[in-house]
Amino acid sequence: MEASLDAFKRANTQVLGVSIDSVHCHANWARDLGGVSFPLLADFQPKGAVAKSLGHYLDGPGITDRATVIIDKEGVVRYSESVTPAGSRDMAELLAECEKINGSGSAAPASTKLSSGTTLFVKSACGVSRRARVAIDNLHASKDVAIRNVSDDAAAKAELLKSGGKDQAPCLVLEGKYMYESGDLIAKLADTLAPLL
Amino acid sequence: MTAIGEKAPTFVLEDQFGRKVDSAKFIGRCNVMILFYPLDWTPT
């Protein structure tokens, strides 16, 4: 899926993954898949509500079915098919379906590069530092972000304190700005590298 | 349950980056393809 994201973007289609797993479960799984930059949504509270509303919740096992729904620009459901949990999707067919529904209109794929010098200061044994690193992997940005660990690098710690004002990690340095709030910095990375259409 | 040809219900759900994704924001902008999948650790 990740490989065909640009083709779906050209067909003016925002791809969203949905299951009943939690957000953190999604992030770790996504990284193990090689990184997933499109939103994986947690249909978690109440469990399966979105899947139920679109008829793709399996009451027996209490999970979402493996199914695909395409909604057009007017918000109308145009395609809704299950391949069963054991089945697999035909991405080429789904892309053709999206292109047909979209007609000739196209959104220019919005892609932004991180500015050079983007740095993430992290701490060892720190859950939020780890989450920030998982997000960077999901956004395929590990080559574009310098990771500096303040727990075992005294120079990094001193530099963070001097330039950012606090030696608290995680801290993202993006375009000269120091972001210390972990939720904000992860969302900022996602909005920069994988903006929603 | 929403059938083909009907308006989809809108929803706001959190993604793996902690962003609240509001499906209503895509109306008038782009198409949306929702991939439902059974559980994490199974292929997409």
Cβ of B1 within 8 Å of Cβ of A52? The answer is: yes
Sequential pLDDT tens for chain B (44 residues): 889 999 999 999 999 999 999 999 999 999 999 999 987 666 55
- Could you tell me the residue ranges of all domains in chain B? 1-44
Interface test with A, best of B1, B2, B40 (most A CBs within 10 A): B40
Cα distance between residue A39 and residue A191, in whole Å = 11
A11 secondary structure, DSSP code: T
| Rounded alpha-carbon distances, angstroms, from residue A126 to A123, A146, A182, B3, B34 | 6, 18, 11, 46, 33
ipTM of the complex: 0.93
Domains of chain A: 2-102 (3.40.30.10), 119-193 (3.40.30.10)
Q: Which residues of chain A have pLDDT under 70?
A: 105-111
**Residues A104-160: tens digit of each pLDDT:** 766 655 667 888 899 999 999 999 999 999 999 999 999 999 999 999 999 999 999
Reduced DSSP (H G I as helix, E B as strand, rest coil) percent helix, strand, coil of chain B, to 5: 10, 30, 60
Cβ-Cβ contacts under 8 Å, B14 against chain A? 23, 41-42
Chain A residues in contact with B2 (beta carbon < 8 A) = 53-55, 77, 80
One-letter amino acid of A195: P
Strands A119-122 and A171-174 turn out to be: antiparallel
| Sequence-separated (6 or more) residues with CB below 8 Å from residue A105 | A12, A73
In terms of Cβ atoms closer than 10 Å to its own Cβ (0-12, 13-18, 19+), residue A68 is: buried
